[in-house]
Amino acid sequence: DAKTTQPTSMDCAEGRAANLPCNHSTISGNEYVYWYRQIHSQGPQYIIHGLKNNETNEMASLIITEDRKSSTLILPHATLRDTAVYYCIVSPRSSNTGKLIFGQGTTLQVKP
Amino acid sequence: NAGVTQTPKFQVLKTGQSMTLQCAQDMNHEYMSWYRQDPGMGLRLIHYSVGAGITDQGEVPNGYNVSRSTTEDFPLRLLSAAPSQTSVYFCASSYRLGGTDYEQYFGPGTRLTVT
């Protein structure tokens, strides 16, 4: 599976958009980009995933560059409850078989 | 749906003791996994299963055994606990047969301390 690189930490003001970048320059054609987050020692929570098109759901938007070597997770209106560690993971989808390789993630601190 | 449940929530063991961490899911998922998370670190995959009777090793399998006799349950056994196994253990499940979603659902974790 391709590796990912994320900033260690980021701050965001409450109510503003949080843009979390992820580099995955070795991504291969069948690999998806997944985002999970972990709020203070709870189990990780799935946010969104995508292959090459931009995706949006009720939690976030995912922007993937045309060459697929990087992506950005956007939380449009960050709240204090969005303070968490955000993990960007690249993995094949249909052969995922429950194996996710987590990196260190980005600690997002949303401030009042 | 209860989702993914784990028991116990907390456990303290002495070095050399054995125990089983329980994990159950009621979503009829085929895939189940065990991860450990050390302080300040990301999750690391211990073992995973793609269905009843089928298991395989992840990144850090040493010192742990698993079996999957039913779709619902995936217990993790510590054979002889060591202080290096002090960690938070998360169980996860994903994928319903015939479905298209592979996203993992995680349990609340078991916090294990080995003294």
Query: Quick check: B106 and A103 CB within 8 A?
Result: no
Provide the pLDDT confidence category of residue A2 given band limits of 50, 70 and 90: low
- Output b/e per residue, B80-101; b: 16+ Cβ within 10 A: ebeeebbbbbbbbbbbeeeeee
Structure tokens given for A56: 């949006």
d(CA B88, CA B40): 11
Task: Decide if B81 contacts B30 (C-beta within 8 A).
Answer: no
Query: Quick check: B108 and A103 CB within 8 A?
Result: no
- For residues A41-58, give the mean pLDDT: 92
Whether residue B87 is predicted with pLDDT greater than 90 in this model: the reply is: yes
Structure tokens given for B84: 């290096």
d(CA A99, CA A97): 6
User: pLDDT of B6-61, one tens digit each?
Assistant: 999 999 999 999 999 999 999 999 999 999 999 888 899 999 999 999 999 999 99
Number of A:B CB contacts under 8 A? 63
> Closest partner residue to A96 among B58, B102, B106, by Cβ?
B102
User: pLDDT of A71-95, one tens digit each?
Assistant: 999 999 999 999 999 999 998 766 5
Query: Quick check: B35 and A102 CB within 8 A?
Result: yes
- Contact B112/A at CB under 8 A: no
Structure tokens given for B85: 């196994």
pLDDT at B79: 92
